[in-house]
Structure 1
């Protein structure tokens, strides 16, 4: 069952969703390399700052920019794609 439909994403939920999305993204080498190239984050920087909101927001924007990845990620982690979009907004300071 997919969660995240019909309820707002709070700050903690946004962090957790983004970390789960990051793990999913990094599980595929080509996707991980594309994330690093698009965001400009190097592997050491990603390891050191993976839990920081600007990095998590960049990960979410990466997924939002690639609809196929957004949908696949949402399916893999068991949430609706709009939950990931709302989490991105929270991480960027747009509110819940």
Structure 2
């Protein structure tokens, strides 16, 4: 079932939750994410409702080309859609690393 979204923030949160699922599906990627955010696996689910945390999820994905491209391929979202979702959650995008 496809979830209908009603505004840009809700759509951005949906993309970020998909990104969190993408991160969680790979043990190495999840380990890096947990280390970099300082969040523990036990609080991951509760944090998913925090828009600032979701912005951080998209920051993590967008930070390097390999990760954003892998998420793009996995989710079907174009990289510009992912970046737009991050922008909709506020603040500016971090600089990305090319790898």
The alignment's TM-score, normalised by the length of structure 2, stands at: 0.80
Structure 2 unaligned regions, length at least 5: 1-6, 93-99
**Structure 2 CA distance for aligned equivalents of residues 26 and 12 of structure 1:** 21
Aligned equivalent of 1:89 = 87
SS in 2 for 1:51: coil
Larger relative contact order (CA 8 Å, sep ≥ 6)? 1
**Structure 2 CA distance for aligned equivalents of residues 75 and 42 of structure 1:** 27
Structure 1 unaligned regions, length at least 5: 1-8
User: Number of residues paired by the alignment?
Assistant: 86
The alignment's TM-score, normalised by the length of structure 1, stands at: 0.82
RMSD: 1.5
* Structure 1 moving runs of 4+ over 2 Å: none
Aligned equivalent of 2:13 = 15
